Chain A
Amino acid sequence: MLEYVFRRLAGTVPVLLAVSLFVFAFVHLLPGDPARMVAGPEASLEQVERTRAELWLDQPIWSQYVRYLDQMAHFELGRSIKTHEPVSKLIGERFMPTLWLTVWSMVWAVVAGIGLGVLSGVRRGGWEDRAAMIFAISGISFPSFWLGLMMIDLFSVRLGWLPTGGYGSWQHFVMPAFTLGSAVAAVMARFTRSAFVEVAAEDYVRTARSKGVTERAVIWTHTVRNALIPVITLTGLQFGFLLGGAIVVETVFAWPGLGRLLIDSVSFRDYPVIQAEILLFALEFVLINLMVDLLYGLVNPEIRLK
C-alpha cells in the first residue's frame, strides 16, 4: 500500500508543475505589458518600472518561474490590483464559504444520487425506475442558474420561506446546495443504477439468492456494497464539477465565496487574484483526485498492484 501511495504522489508532481507553469505563463500570455497590467492603467511610467522590478519581470524567464514556485510554496500570492489587499487574505476570507457550499452540495448529491440509483436498479423497468431516470436526465440538462432563480422566485419572493441570498444561517445553505448538488445527484443516480444492474447480474449474487439469503441482504450486502466501489471514483471527479459549478451558483445567490471573487476579478482584470484562484481550483481538484485514488486503492486491492 505504501508503495502505491508514493507512486500516486509522484505521479501528481508533473501535473502540478505543468499547472503552475500554465498559471505562471498566464500573465505573459496577456496582450500588452504585464507590468503595466499589474500596476494599473493610471500608473506613471516610473511606477510601472518599479512594478516590473518588484515582480522580477526584468529577470530571465526561468528565474521568474523559480521565484514564482518559491512564492507559491510560501503562500505569497501578490496583491490585488483592485483593493491592494494581499491575495492570500482575499482568498482566505472566501475559502470557507465555498468549501461548505461544495460539502453540503455533495452530501445532498450523494444521498439523492445513490438513493435514486439503487431504487431504480432494484425496481428496474418499473415506474420508480422511469421516474428516477427522468429526474437524472433532466438534472444534467437543467441550467443551474435558472433552477436557482426559479427557487428564489418561489421560496423567497413568493413564499418568503428562505433568504434570497447571502451567507450565514442554515437557511442560507438550502437553495444553493440543492441547486449546485442536483446536477451531480443526477449523474450519480445514472451511474449507480448501471453499476447496480451490472453487479446484480454477477454469479455470486445469484448464488446468494439461491442459497436463501433474504432479498434485503442480497440487495444491500451483496449488490450495493460492490456497486459502490466505482461510485467512489465518480464522487471524487464530481467534486471538481462542484467547484466549477460553484462559480455560477455563487453568482445567483450572492454567496461570498471563491467563485464570485473569480468573476469579479475577471470583470476587473485583477490578474494576481485570477492567477491565484485558477491555481487554487486546479490544486484542489488534483488533490481530491489523489485522495480518491488512494481511497480506491484501499477499497480495491487489485488497483494497488497495477
Chain B
Amino acid sequence: MSATTAPAVPATHTAIRTPFGEFWRRFRTKRVALVSLGVIVVLVLAAALAPWIAPYDQATPDYDALLEGPSWVHWAGTDTYGRDIFSRMIWGGQVSLTVGFLSVVLGCVVGVALGIISGFFGGWLDGLLMRIMDVMLAFPGILPAIAVVALLGPGIVNVIYAIALSAVPVFARLVRGTTLALKQTLYVQASRSIGVSRTKLMFVHILPGTMPAVIVYASLRMGTSILTAAALSFIGLGAQPPSPEWGAMLSDGRSYLGVADHVTIFPGMAILITVLAFNLLGDGLRDALDQKLRT
C-alpha cells in the first residue's frame, strides 16, 4: 500500500488509524455500496414510519376501485379488494425486513458461537460439529426451510426459524476457519500464556477478529433470507393473507397477468430493489473489509 512509502519530510504527528477508520476510508470510495446503503436506510425508515407515511390504510378494501392501474390517486394501483398497493408495499417492508434481520441475527449468533467453539477446541468436538454442519448443508437451497415449515406449520415466525437454521452452517464454517487462523496469532498465544481464561480468549480475543467476514456474509445473507422468505410466502408456506408480505402480494397477482400486471410488478420490484441493495452493500463491504477476498 502507498502509505508505507515514507514522506520526504518526517510528519510531526501521525494520525492513528483505527480499524474502523481504515475501513471507512476504503468503504467511502465505493459509490455503488454507498448508494445501496442509502437505499437500505430509506427502506428501513419507510417501513418503520409506515403508519404515518402510507397514503392509505393497507387493509381497508375499496370496492369502487378494484384492480385499478397506477394513477396519481393510487401510485402503484389497487389489488383485487381495491386496497392501495403502494401502501401495502410500505407495510410489507416491515415484514420482509424484520424476517430478514431476525433470521440472519439468529442464524449468525448460533453459527458464530458454534464456529468459534469448533475451531477453538478442535479434536472430536470439532469433528462432530462440522459433520453436523455437513449434514445440514446436504439439504440444498430452500429445502431445509420447507422441511422446517412442514414440521412446524406455515407462518411467518416459523419462516424466521427455518431461514435462521439454514444460515447456521454457513456462518459456523466461515468462523471456524477464521478461528483456526487467529488461534495461531501472536496476540492470542500471548494472552493464553499469561493465563487468560478460555471463554475470554474465545469471545474477547478471537471473536472480534472474525467480525469482518461475518459482517460481509451477514449482508449478503440478508438478501438471500429476504428472497427465501418471499419465495416461501409465494408458494403459500410463509406469511398468510391478508398479510402485506411482498411474496404473498405477488402471488395474489398471478391470476391477473395481462389484465392487471401492476399487482405482480410492483411487489416484485420491491423485493428486487431490497435484495439488490443488500447484495451490492455486501460486495462493497467485502472489498473494504476483507483484503483476502478481493479480486
Seen from chain A, the residues whose Cβ lies within 8 Å of a Cβ on chain B are: 14-15, 18-19, 22, 26, 29-30, 137-138, 140-146, 149-150, 152-153, 157-158, 193-194, 197-198, 239-241, 243-245, 247-248, 251, 262-263, 266-267, 269, 274, 278, 281-282, 285-286
| A19 in contact with B142 given A29-B151, A266-B237, A267-B236 (CB within 8 Å) | no
Q: How many A-B residue pairs have CB under 8 A?
A: 127
The reply to whether A146 and B143 form a contact with Cβ atoms under 8 Å apart is no
The reply to whether A150 and B264 form a contact with Cβ atoms under 8 Å apart is yes
| A263 in contact with B139 given A15-B134, A146-B272, A158-B258 (CB within 8 Å) | no
Q: Which residues of chain B are within 8 angstroms of A285 by Cβ–Cβ distance?
A: 138-140
| A281 in contact with B234 given A145-B250, A153-B257, A157-B257 (CB within 8 Å) | no
| Cα–Cα distance between A205 and B83 once the two chains are bound (Å) | 62
Q: Which of B216-239 contact A (CB under 8 A)?
A: 223, 227, 230-231, 234-237
Output the nearest chain A residue to B261 by Cβ-Cβ distance: A153
The 8 A CB mask of B245-273 against A (1 = contact, 0 = none) is: 00100100110011001001100100110
Q: Which residues of chain B are within 8 angstroms of A18 by Cβ–Cβ distance?
A: 131-132, 135
Interface size of B in residues (CB-CB distance below 8 Å): 41
The reply to whether A247 and B236 form a contact with Cβ atoms under 8 Å apart is no
The reply to whether B135 and A15 form a contact with Cβ atoms under 8 Å apart is yes
| Cα–Cα distance between A236 and B257 once the two chains are bound (Å) | 35
The reply to whether A137 and B250 form a contact with Cβ atoms under 8 Å apart is no
| Cα–Cα distance between A140 and B135 once the two chains are bound (Å) | 25
The reply to whether B236 and A263 form a contact with Cβ atoms under 8 Å apart is yes
Report which of A157, A239, A251 forms a contact with B235, defined as CB distance below 8 A.
A251
| Cα–Cα distance between A157 and B255 once the two chains are bound (Å) | 11
| Cα–Cα distance between A73 and B151 once the two chains are bound (Å) | 25
| A152 in contact with B271 given A245-B142, A248-B142 (CB within 8 Å) | no
Most buried by B among A150, A263, A267, A282: A282
Q: Which residues of chain B are within 8 angstroms of A245 by Cβ–Cβ distance?
A: 141-142
| A143 in contact with B141 given A263-B237, A266-B149 (CB within 8 Å) | no
Closest CB in chain B relative to A269 CB, distance in Å: 8
| Cα–Cα distance between A153 and B259 once the two chains are bound (Å) | 10
The reply to whether A244 and B142 form a contact with Cβ atoms under 8 Å apart is yes
Asked if B41 CB lies within 8 Å of chain A CBs, one says no
Output the nearest chain B residue to A278 by Cβ-Cβ distance: B147
Report which of B258, B268, B295 forms a contact with A143, defined as CB distance below 8 A.
B268
Q: Which residues of chain B are within 8 angstroms of A30 by Cβ–Cβ distance?
A: 151
Q: Which residues of chain A are within 8 angstroms of B150 by Cβ–Cβ distance?
A: 266, 269, 274
Asked if B146 CB lies within 8 Å of chain A CBs, one says yes
| A281 in contact with B140 given A137-B283, A248-B235 (CB within 8 Å) | yes
Task: Tell which of B170-178, B184-192, B202-210, B274-282 binds the partner.
Answer: B274-282
| Cα–Cα distance between A244 and B275 once the two chains are bound (Å) | 19
| Cα–Cα distance between A150 and B254 once the two chains are bound (Å) | 10
Extra 17 A-B pairs, beta carbons < 8 Å, given A150-B264, A248-B142, A281-B143: A137-B279, A140-B279, A141-B227, A141-B275, A143-B268, A143-B272, A145-B231, A149-B250, A149-B253, A157-B257, A157-B258, A247-B142, A248-B234, A263-B237, A266-B237, A278-B139, A282-B143
| Cα–Cα distance between A109 and B141 once the two chains are bound (Å) | 17
The reply to whether A15 and B227 form a contact with Cβ atoms under 8 Å apart is no
| Cα–Cα distance between A88 and B67 once the two chains are bound (Å) | 44
| Cα–Cα distance between A145 and B253 once the two chains are bound (Å) | 12
Q: Which residues of chain B are within 8 angstroms of A19 by Cβ–Cβ distance?
A: 135, 138-139
| Cα–Cα distance between A269 and B151 once the two chains are bound (Å) | 9
Report which of B140, B141, B268 forms a contact with A146, defined as CB distance below 8 A.
B268
